[in-house]
């Protein structure tokens, strides 16, 4: 294969039809940000929107803002906008709470639909909080429900008629390996099991086709590819066929049929709003709205194409520039089997990543030894990949990662 140069990468950027989207973001100077799969970059519009929300809407309208400025509709309104990104209808998605809590809600709903079954099937590549929520729910139910965790490649074989729900994250947060959502969902359906997909590393990174795949339930994260800000609210999806047939056990007043009648007995709202619980967090919701604005007019197929091209470029450049430093590709080399990230194992992965960060290349580390590089096609350039790999080569060549300062663990890594 011909060696690539930085000029080639700059040329790729010049041909990139999505290149102008980068202007929608306030990227810091001197940083190559390959961690949008952990926390998305600040959209340029968010600061002014929040300032207006705080000073004008809250400050001037106070309690009347709930109606006057439509705060009360934000969970549904934002859900409808996410629907386009994930292959859902607009009345099947709502924004609320955290991904963890939304897992609890949809998993409870799924289990209640399969009262004769006791097993929640997941895999060891699922994000831990999803597994924890399932464990907590199973213990709470105390009716022999249990979470069964198999290897990712064993999931399909394990789907049989004893499984109540198959709960998976489409894209593995460590390796970037991507499950075949269509095939697994079809197999689950045939076995009478319900599907719960976590789209934390999918929504906003690639087209998702929940209804095309016959998915029953899904959840996802607002602060990664959707650019909603640190700890942004999450979303959840319930297929229309289940909307009025299911309930979730977190009976809060925003899920009540008539919250402002202040009845003492719970009656769930019709539709997706019964998955709401407490008072919506308006500031955080408004920021997520600005994150979703960055997708206005964006074709998710083009996003996926660029995402894969960026990943393929990273893999090719690491092979070309860093062949001899003990980096082991930990992601599928085949794009179709991969999300929007590429991970490398390295025995001193943590320290190498800290050295990269010190040089302005921000990826992240996942135990035990994975360096993770995420590609957000809306703002990452081909030349950024070149520059990141060049700095990686420098760090490895000079063994900069041996600096003791780089081996101290921080609270969030």
- For the chain, the residue count is 413
- Smallest separation (angstroms) from a copy of itself to the CB of 336: 26
127 is catalytic: yes
323 binds a copy of itself (CB under 8 A): no
Q: Which two tokens stand for residue 198?
A: 């976590």
Nearest in space to 123 (alpha carbons), one of 153, 157, 93, 84: 153
Helix (H) or strand (E) holding 218: strand 217-220
Residues 6-45 that bind a copy of itself (CB under 8 A): 26, 28, 31, 33, 35, 38-39, 41-42
- Smallest separation (angstroms) from a copy of itself to the CB of 294: 14
- Smallest separation (angstroms) from a copy of itself to the CB of 229: 5
Catalytic residue among 24, 81, 105, 372: 372
Q: Which two tokens stand for residue 235?
A: 């979303």
44 is catalytic: no
Query: 321 or 384: whose CB is closer to a copy of itself?
Result: 384
Distances (CA, A) of 135 to 102, 129, 149, 179, 262: 14, 10, 11, 22, 33
Query: 42 or 309: whose CB is closer to a copy of itself?
Result: 42
- Smallest separation (angstroms) from a copy of itself to the CB of 355: 14
Query: 109 or 313: whose CB is closer to a copy of itself?
Result: 109
Residues 73-132 that bind a copy of itself (CB under 8 A): 73, 97-101, 104, 108, 124, 127-129, 131-132
- Smallest separation (angstroms) from a copy of itself to the CB of 366: 6
Contact pattern from residue 334 through residue 373 relative to a copy of itself, giving x for each residue in contact according to CB under 8 A and a dash for the rest: -----------------------x----x-x-xx------
Catalytic residue among 224, 366, 381, 393: 224
Q: What is the largest CA-CA distance in the chain?
A: 72
178 is catalytic: no
234 binds a copy of itself (CB under 8 A): yes
Q: How far apart are CA 332 and CA 343, in angstroms?
A: 9
Residue located via tokens 């990686």: 392
391 binds a copy of itself (CB under 8 A): no
| Intra-chain end-to-end CA distance of the chain, in Å | 36
224 is catalytic: yes
406 binds a copy of itself (CB under 8 A): no
Residues sharing a CB contact under 8 Å with residue 263, sequence separation 6 or more, in sequence order: 256
Which phi and psi (to 5°) does residue 250 adopt? -90, 80
Of 65, 176, 220, 349, the one binding a copy of itself by CB under 8 A:
65
- Smallest separation (angstroms) from a copy of itself to the CB of 167: 13
Helix (H) or strand (E) holding 198: strand 194-198
Of 285, 330, 361, 396, the one binding a copy of itself by CB under 8 A:
285
DSSP summary character for residue 254 = G
Give the CA angle between residues 158, 161, 167 to the nearest 5°: 55
47 binds a copy of itself (CB under 8 A): yes
135 binds a copy of itself (CB under 8 A): yes
Q: How far apart are CA 137 and CA 120, in angstroms?
A: 10
**Exposed e or buried b per residue across 327-366, where buried means at least 16 C-beta atoms within 10 angstroms of its C-beta:** beebbbeebeebbbbbbbbbebbbbbbbbbbebebbbbbb
326 binds a copy of itself (CB under 8 A): no
The one segment of 156-164, 189-197, 257-265, 297-305 that binds a copy of itself by CB under 8 A? 257-265
Residues contacting a copy of itself: total by CB under 8 A: 92
- Active-site residues, by number, are 127, 198, 223-224, 372
């Amino acid at each position: 294969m011909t060696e690539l140069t930085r000029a080639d990468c700059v040329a790729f950027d010049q041909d990139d039809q999505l290149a102008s989207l980068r202007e929608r973001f306030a990227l810091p100077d001197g940083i190559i940000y390959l961690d949008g799969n952990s926390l998305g970059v600040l959209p340029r519009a968010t600061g002014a929107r929040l300032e207006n929300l705080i000073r004008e809407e809250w400050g001037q309208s106070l309690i009347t803002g709930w109606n006057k400025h439509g705060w009360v509709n934000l969970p549904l309104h934002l859900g409808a906008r996410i629907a386009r990104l994930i292959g859902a209808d607009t009345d099947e998605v709502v924004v609320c709470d955290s991904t963890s809590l939304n897992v609890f809600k949809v998993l409870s709903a799924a289990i209640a639909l399969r009262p004769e079954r006791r097993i929640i099937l997941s895999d060891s590549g699922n994000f831990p909080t999803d597994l924890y929520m399932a464990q907590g729910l199973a213990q709470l139910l105390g009716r022999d429900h249990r979470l069964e965790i198999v290897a990712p490649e064993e999931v399909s074989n394990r789907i049989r008629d004893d499984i109540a729900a198959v709960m998976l994250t489409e894209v593995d947060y460590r390796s970037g390996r991507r499950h075949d959502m269509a095939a697994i969902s079809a197999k689950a359906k045939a076995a009478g099991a319900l599907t719960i997909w976590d789209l934390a590393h999918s929504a906003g990174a690639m087209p998702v086709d929940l209804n095309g795949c016959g998915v029953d339930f899904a959840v996802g994260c607002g602060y990664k590819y959707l650019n909603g800000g640190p700890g942004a609210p999450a979303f959840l999806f319930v297929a229309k066929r289940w909307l009025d047939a299911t309930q979730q056990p977190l009976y809060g007043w925003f899920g009540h049929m008539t919250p402002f009648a202040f009845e003492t007995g719970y009656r769930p709202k019709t539709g997706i709003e019964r998955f709401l619980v407490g008072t919506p967090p308006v500031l955080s919701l408004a920021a997520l709205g600005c994150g979703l604005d960055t997708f206005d007019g964006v074709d998710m197929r083009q996003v996926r194409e660029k995402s894969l091209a960026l990943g393929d470029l990273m893999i090719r450049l690491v092979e070309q520039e860093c062949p001899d430093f003990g980096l082991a590709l930990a992601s599928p080399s085949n794009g179709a089997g991969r999300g929007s990230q590429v991970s490398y194992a390295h025995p001193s992965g943590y320290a190498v990543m800290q050295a990269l960060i010190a040089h302005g290349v921000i990826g992240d580390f996942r135990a035990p030894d994975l360096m993770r590089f995420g590609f957000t096609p809306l703002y990452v350039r081909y030349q950024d990949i070149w520059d990141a790999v060049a700095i990686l080569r420098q760090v490895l060549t000079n063994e900069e990662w041996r600096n003791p300062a780089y081996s101290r663990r921080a609270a969030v890594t």
